[in-house]
Structure 1
């Protein structure tokens, strides 16, 4: 009997083959091709952050990707990226198209430029939203979950629709104005991670509408920004399940800042997010609350090879119930599901121009960002305090 190779092995083999074929780089100057491959080990104690079954050391930390861009005309460029991911229980395993777009420079002058993006564009509204898809461009393997929620990775990375960017140089500094409108597909696996292991219906995103502005003062090493998000979702229940059709709305306001110097970098993002749920448990059930969160992160560059990172990340699911006491009193769900705080230390060593190893350790209090998000897994995630560590080796060209 012929043994069939598992699908995930086929996907990884195919992407690695593509990487090897494109490695020498494209012959035409109009083409640019890059790729990356990373593998790591990770362990989270006493919960399902990495694995649904146990908290043993896991190798579910694989990222392989290839991206290309083609300068078709002086003002029109096409770009795309295909990746294979295995992050355990953090998001769905498998291949996906992260972005596939047309970048059209509508107008440009000596001190300003206007670009239009059509297709599956990348989210450029947050500090790391446009670089989180490539391992060596992230400050850590696990990003601050208050903002960069892994369960929502594919939805937050990009959308199918239209985006505009306008950059303007002035006497007082540089301004970036960004706007986007689109939708993101949500898989069955993501539905389970978001709602419940017993949910068998479908989630559709009606739209996500974002706008942001970034400002870099003239002669300064600081950058300041604000971003706005409005998004609607719809849940279509399966006729065989106990849940009902539902509508949900997410509205976020976020402030951010970043400082860069030769040896220091500081980054922070602060947000408030209103989440409104109508339906699901019963046709008439509704819930409206405001979550708040922030992280503050510092990096010190000893030299071009070695970097130290320290970060504190805080998420409160309900700003009026920060320690979850009302959550436990009203629902019986342990109070520590109402928040999640994370202190992280990390070290990155770039031992070659295109090779890097990254290690980090996290101390968590609370489980408010563990899957599933709507109906918590109280049996598996039964520890208020827990730790996580990860080591990841990365290569790119």
Structure 2
């Protein structure tokens, strides 16, 4: 099921009109944020090909929602400008824009149905990664939150259902969504190769997860199934092809007064047909995940530490088989990426935050492009990332 551009335009116009007609009404709410930082990733193309210190850490966003009078309907949306270097295409985009219908509201159940460009509620930070001051770190764990896939993974043009209920065992939440995400030509080159002349189209992504929680503990399990098609261009090195991604993911958090512990683990099956040559088939299983600890020194100051692990092929964790298949042209360290993070977050004034962090990275298996790795600019097995970012919200 594909949501047409016309529907998204209609949603946008609706939000725009009501933002003026109800600007002084309790039914309309809007917020915004501005974030700017400095970042460097030496000996890699993660931020830029040179690995220099750069200001490519800019995020500006405006979001709002309008609840229709005496009804169970509202409309919500967000537009952002991003400059993250090679992490994702620079420019403006609509992160989400959807109608929200409170289909059921009673003592036992609350069920909401979203239609439009809906958000991804299936991962711990998938619904908040688009707002800088709500993330635990500037850079999220790449095993789960692969930056080159940011716009695709943030949500879909389609439908979502969010259901909540409680019983004697605790509180329960079920999330389900179905749709697809547009993938631009620049994103295609970032994912496939700079020489790619075609386009990736996501046929669909189907996700669901079940969440249980009490006052301190949250546990969740989810499934994902998605299909993609590559349509080659004129004089393209690649040919028409298809890909399917299937993922199972386990998540959890444990929170006390000063500590917040979190983890997400996944196994993902990746199937590629044709694309490189007629009859090409690649069927591998990736594995990864992270464990994260966050300690609140006080209400304004928090320390974060994290270990993030990713293996491109669980049967080739050291990447040596892939390297051998390429005739040694692709180093073995492109088969994995392990990352240790240490960061600090300081809310130094009302609506102002400073984040600083350091990452020690082993391997380059989570750097774009995927199919034709950038060997020239990723010439180290071990490399570092450090960054600082100021954020203001209003």
TM range (shorter): over 0.9
Q: Which of 215, 219, 224 is equivalent to 2:219?
A: 224
The yes-or-no answer on 1:135 pairing with 2:132 is yes
What is residue 8 of structure 2 aligned with on the other side?
Answer: none
What is residue 189 of structure 2 aligned with on the other side?
Answer: 192
The yes-or-no answer on 1:320 pairing with 2:281 is no
Deviations along 1:344-376, one digit per CA (max 9) or x if unpaired, are: 000000011200000000000000011101111
Q: Which of 340, 344, 354 is equivalent to 2:351?
A: 354
Deviations along 1:52-82, one digit per CA (max 9) or x if unpaired, are: 2x11100000000000000014311100000
What is residue 155 of structure 2 aligned with on the other side?
Answer: 158
Q: Normalised by the size of structure 1, how large is the TM-score?
A: 0.92
Q: Which of 207, 212, 234 is equivalent to 1:239?
A: 234
Distance apart, 1:302 and its partner CA: 0.7
What is residue 273 of structure 1 aligned with on the other side?
Answer: 268
After TM superposition, the structure 1 = structure 2 runs for residues 98-177 of structure 1, keeping only pairs within 5 Å, are 98-177=95-174
Q: Which of 238, 243, 247 is equivalent to 1:248?
A: 243
Q: Distance in 2 between matches of 1:373 and 1:148?
A: 15
Q: Distance in 1 between matches of 2:310 and 2:391?
A: 29
What is residue 255 of structure 2 aligned with on the other side?
Answer: 260
Q: Distance in 2 between matches of 1:95 and 1:125?
A: 24
Contact 2:114 2:161 in 1 (8 A): yes
Q: Normalised by the size of structure 2, how large is the TM-score?
A: 0.93
Secondary structure of the structure 2 residue equivalent to 1:276? strand
Q: Which of 302, 320, 327 is equivalent to 2:297?
A: 302
What is residue 66 of structure 2 aligned with on the other side?
Answer: 70
* Moved segments of 4+, more than 4 Å: none
Secondary structure of the structure 2 residue equivalent to 1:165? strand
Q: Distance in 1 between matches of 2:350 and 2:219?
A: 30
**Structure 1 segments unaligned to the other structure (5+ residues):** 1-21
The yes-or-no answer on 1:47 pairing with 2:32 is no
Q: Distance in 2 between matches of 1:33 and 1:261?
A: 31
Distance apart, 1:329 and its partner CA: 1.3
Q: Distance in 2 between matches of 1:239 and 1:63?
A: 35
Q: Distance in 2 between matches of 1:236 and 1:55?
A: 32
Q: Distance in 2 between matches of 1:294 and 1:203?
A: 26
The yes-or-no answer on 1:389 pairing with 2:386 is yes
Q: Distance in 2 between matches of 1:261 and 1:66?
A: 32
After TM superposition, the structure 1 = structure 2 runs for residues 7-18 of structure 1, keeping only pairs within 5 Å, are none
Distance apart, 1:189 and its partner CA: 1.0
Q: Distance in 1 between matches of 2:26 and 2:105?
A: 22
Between 68-77 and 114-123, the greater mean CA deviation after superposition: 68-77
Q: Distance in 2 between matches of 1:124 and 1:353?
A: 28
Secondary structure of the structure 2 residue equivalent to 1:60? coil
Contact 2:260 2:293 in 1 (8 A): yes
Contact 2:211 2:218 in 1 (8 A): yes
Q: Distance in 1 between matches of 2:79 and 2:130?
A: 10
CA RMSD of aligned residues (A): 1.0
Distance apart, 1:287 and its partner CA: 0.4
Deviations along 1:10-65, one digit per CA (max 9) or x if unpaired, are: xxxxxxxxxxxx9xx9411010000000000000010100002x111000000000
**Structure 2 segments unaligned to the other structure (5+ residues):** 1-18
